[in-house]
Amino acid sequence: MKLSIKNKGASACAYSINILPTAQTTAVLKEGYRNIPDTSWIFPETKEVQIPGNSSKVVELDIKIPKKQNTLIKNIKIVSSRKIPFDLV
């Protein structure tokens, strides 16, 4: 799965990637969607990405559902948290 992060600002920013259940965010699940039972099943390739101004980057997300789980995962809501400005040196 790919997560595309776009920095619409003019300054470079560092973005932290955190996998959270919807209840810990301001996101609202659409009808037919539900939370993944365990957010530890989702592994971003990196926990932080630096993006120059007016640019975007793609981060790979691996989803590993344990074999013992009988849960059907149809749709997953993934939220990346905040951006942290940084200086390019």
| pTM for the model | 0.67
- Domains of the chain (ranges, CATH numbers): 2-82 (2.60.40)
* Tens-place pLDDT, residues 55-86: 999 999 898 887 777 555 555 555 544 444 43
Q: Distance between CA atoms of 28 and 83, rounded to whole angstroms?
A: 21
Q: Distance between CA atoms of 20 and 23, rounded to whole angstroms?
A: 8
Taking alpha carbons only, the member of 27, 41, 32 closest to residue 77 is 27
* Tens-place pLDDT, residues 8-62: 999 999 999 888 888 888 888 778 877 778 889 889 999 999 999 999 999 998 9
